[in-house]
Amino acid sequence: MKLVKSVLALACGLGLAVSVQAAPQHAHGDVAHAAEHDAAHNAAHNAVPVPAQRWTPDAPLREGIRRAHVAVDQLSHHEKGHMSTSMTVDRAAEVEQAVMFMFANCKLTTEPDAALHGVLVPLLTAAQSLKADPENVKPVAEMREALSSYPRYFNDPGWDKPAVADTQD
């Protein structure tokens, strides 16, 4: 967790100087490389207009976003006081792992990549907040809000269907 926070802090420091307009197209080959771009992409997210035709997500994006969606949906039990602290931390960690999976594996062009970072950075930040303070329910709403912008940018068949857990809890 300290590594993730350190990477994000470094990204914030380095990323503010990076112009999204000049950012080359890139694959998220590693988490550190992806994190360097997070702050700039997140800051520019509001500048990324919703496309006339939504972008098609690649397979790793579909997999990772669904994993995050399932974990966030399960956290509704936390909001109602029906989830143990350890389960809450586990679900927040699942969101964190799903985001890192997407950073490492998604291969998008510049505009969809910038829009995706605008979804993933607040999602990751809220997951880390929940792990740090599992008694707080506010980060769950923040994660849900971050996920709600995903279908505005991406045409992902099946996104509107309920998230299905593939867990053996």
In-domain check, residue 57: no
Please report whether residue 135 resides in a domain: yes
Q: Which domain holds residue 80?
A: 2-12+30-47+62-153
Longest distance between any two alpha carbons in the chain, whole Å: 47
pLDDT at 1 over 70: no
Q: Kindly state whether residue 53 falls inside one of the protein's structural domains.
A: no
Average pLDDT of span 36-40? 44
166 found inside a domain: no
Per-residue pLDDT at 2: 45
Flag whether pLDDT at 164 surpasses 80.
no
The answer to the question of residue 165 being in a domain is no
CA dist 65 and 67 (Å) reads 5
Counting other chains too, the contacts that 161-167 makes at CB distance below 8 Å and 24 or more residues apart are: 162/73, 163/66, 163/69, 163/70, 163/72, 163/73, 164/70, 165/70, 165/73, 165/74, 166/70, 167/70
pLDDT digits (tens, 9 = 90+) for 91-146: 999 999 999 999 999 999 999 999 999 999 999 999 999 999 999 999 999 999 99
164 domain residue, yes or no: no
**Is residue 30 scored above 80 in pLDDT?**
no
Q: State the pTM of this model.
A: 0.71
**54 in any annotated domain:** no
CA dist 134 and 100 (Å) reads 20
Residue 62 is predicted with a pLDDT of 95
- Indicate whether 148 belongs to any domain: yes
Domain tally, the chain: 1
Per-residue pLDDT averaged across 19-40, rounded? 41
- pLDDT category at 161 given cuts 50, 70, 90 is confident
Phi, psi of 166 (to 5 degrees): -115, 55
pLDDT at 162 (0 to 100): 65
**Residue, of 46 and 99, whose pLDDT is higher:** 99
